[in-house]
């Protein structure tokens, strides 16, 4: 059964699944008696059956989770405005509909566990009540061609020849993809950003010495389902040459951008926001002092690409570059003012991420795949490539952390959890004395078991 909280047409929707008609009718009567609100003692997921642990006494001074969480998001001064907006948006979509109406002390570990189970059944991208739009002829022709290994770009116009083949085949429309649900990684991200800090704050003393609202957090002892572990895509030797050549064949300036990403390990926004003044070709350094990011405009209340006066982690750093790259970048900076971006889009403005991705990077990846590259490469994969090369080269983890700009050492340490071809060669070289000592085993003829 479903109802709108408070009974108003604009009220948020709440629901409960009951397995027996009589239980559903009794529960519906309780909802009506409670003013179209969830009855106290019937938490989300109760299936219309009263919680046996409910004591029947409602603490009117205890705020609901939604009330307290909204206040908490606003007062998290350590988080940027964009982060606070993201916390609120995720909570309004994924958290408040489930247990936002419950008093803070009624959100138990069982409620959180049932929330996790509920989240893992939710559609990932499109709301389950919104049907997918019908495919256009070009979209249908593109999917038809991809299913038959016919070369076609992921974006842009479909070649007339492919469109003609699709029509000659009867204009088949591919079956809609099976709906995907939220991943464990997404559930964990929302839990750690929009839920866990709220309860942590509720167990702490108030700013004016008020006692904590909760004696303990229901997050203690809660285990989240493990997500799938996927290896970071890393480019090795010839693979990197294939990808760089493909990018260069489409746009030499973007190839220099990609080369700088790979050699320095800078994030995409740190290179896009790099001014000419941040380049020191004589000293062989790049000064990372700012970043170009998709941030909240507090005046308009909407997100837009803008320059942030500090990099991720709010710590400036210096990254060394080799003489060859320094000379290429100095030549590229020639004629630009110190306060201008080193890499510019149309009209001297900052690079447009979507434009670079759609017009150069995606077509270059398709071209590289035609030339034998089997990996899916993103701008961030180039950063992973560089940090992995530092590790294989024996650079100390502390220095790796400084160059990568990782706020936590645990992030840098994560690169030590996977072995690469260079590391595997070292492992095999290390155990070679054992193989040498056991040569007699390899020289012996295979015993006859017959």
Query: pLDDT band at 423, cuts 50/70/90?
Result: low
pLDDT at res. 374 = 85
Query: Is residue 188 within 8 Å of residue 222, measured between CB atoms?
Result: no
Q: Considering only CA atoms, which of 200, 183, 204, 182 is closest in space to residue 192?
A: 200
The CATH fold assigned to 238-412 is hpI Integrase; Chain A (1.10.443)
Q: Which tens digit of pLDDT belongs to each residue from 191-213?
A: 999 999 999 999 998 777 788 88
List, in sequence order, every residue forming a beta bridge with 320; answer none if it has no partner.
285
Q: 441 by DSSP, 3-state: which?
A: helix
For the cut 60, the answer to whether the pLDDT of residue 70 exceeds it is: yes
Percent of the chain clearing pLDDT 90 (strictly above): 30
Pairing of strands 302-308, 13-15: unpaired
pTM of the model: 0.64
Q: Which of 115-124, 133-142, 217-226, 320-329 has the lowest mean pLDDT?
A: 133-142
Query: Which token pair is 440?
Result: 């007699």
Instruction: Return mean pLDDT, the chain.
Output: 82
Cα–Cα distance, 100 to 91 (Å, whole number): 9
Mean pLDDT for 318-334 is: 89
Domain boundaries of the chain, sorted by first residue: 1-58, 67-131+177-229, 137-168, 238-412
pLDDT at res. 360 = 92
Cα–Cα distance, 272 to 341 (Å, whole number): 7
Q: Which of 50-54, 148-152, 340-344, 345-349 has the lowest mean pLDDT?
A: 50-54
pLDDT at res. 421 = 61
pLDDT at res. 385 = 81
Q: 181 by DSSP, 3-state: which?
A: strand
Cα–Cα distance, 15 to 98 (Å, whole number): 9
- The DSSP symbol for 7 reads G
Q: Which tens digit of pLDDT belongs to each residue from 125-135?
A: 554 444 566 77
For the cut 60, the answer to whether the pLDDT of residue 434 exceeds it is: no
pLDDT at res. 410 = 56
């Amino acid at each position: 059964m479903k109802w709108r909280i408070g009974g108003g047409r604009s009220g948020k929707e709440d629901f409960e699944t009951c397995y027996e008609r009589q239980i559903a009718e009794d529960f519906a009567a309780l909802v009506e008696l409670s003013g179209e609100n969830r009855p106290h003692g019937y938490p989300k997921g109760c299936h219309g059956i009263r919680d046996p642990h409910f004591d029947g006494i409602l603490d009117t001074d205890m705020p609901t989770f939604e009330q307290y969480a909204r206040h908490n998001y606003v007062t998290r001064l350590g988080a940027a405005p964009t982060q606070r907006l993201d916390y609120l948006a995720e909570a309004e979509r994924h958290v408040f509909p489930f247990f936002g109406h419950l008093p803070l002390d009624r959100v138990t570990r069982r409620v959180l566990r049932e929330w996790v189970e509920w989240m893992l059944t939710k559609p990932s991208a499109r709301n389950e009540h919104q049907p997918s739009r019908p495919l256009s002829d070009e979209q249908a022709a593109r999917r038809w061609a991809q299913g038959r290994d016919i070369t076609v770009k992921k974006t842009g116009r479909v070649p007339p020849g492919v469109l003609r083949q699709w029509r000659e085949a009867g204009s088949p429309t591919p079956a809609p993809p099976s709906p995907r649900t939220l991943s464990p990684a997404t559930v964990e991200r929302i839990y750690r950003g929009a839920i866990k800090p709220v309860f942590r704050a509720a167990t702490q003393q108030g700013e004016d010495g008020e006692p904590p609202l909760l004696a303990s957090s229901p997050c203690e002892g809660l285990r989240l389902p493990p997500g799938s572990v996927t290896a970071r895509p890393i480019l090795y030797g010839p693979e990197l040459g294939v990808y760089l050549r493909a990018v260069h064949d489409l746009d030499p300036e973007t190839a220099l951008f990609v080369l700088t990403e790979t050699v320095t390990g800078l994030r995409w926004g740190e290179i896009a926001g790099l001014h000419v003044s941040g380049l020191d070709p004589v000293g062989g350094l790049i000064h990372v002092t700012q970043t170009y990011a998709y941030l909240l405009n507090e005046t308009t209340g909407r997100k837009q690409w803008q320059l942030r006066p500090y990099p991720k982690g709010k710590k400036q750093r210096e990254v060394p570059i080799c003489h060859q790259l320094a000379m290429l970048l100095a030549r590229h900076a020639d004629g630009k003012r110190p306060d201008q971006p080193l890499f510019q889009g149309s009209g001297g403005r900052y690079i447009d991420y979507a434009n670079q991705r759609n017009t150069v990077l995606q077509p270059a990846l398709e071209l590289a795949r035609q030339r034998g590259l089997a990996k899916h490469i993103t701008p961030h994969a180039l950063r992973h490539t560089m940090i992995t090369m530092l590790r294989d080269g024996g650079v100390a983890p502390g220095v790796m952390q400084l160059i990568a700009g990782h706020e936590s050492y645990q992030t840098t340490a994560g690169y030590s959890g996977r072995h690469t071809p260079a590391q595997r060669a070292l492992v095999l070289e290390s155990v070679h004395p054992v193989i040498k000592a056991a040569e007699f085993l390899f020289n012996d003829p295979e015993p006859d078991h017959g």
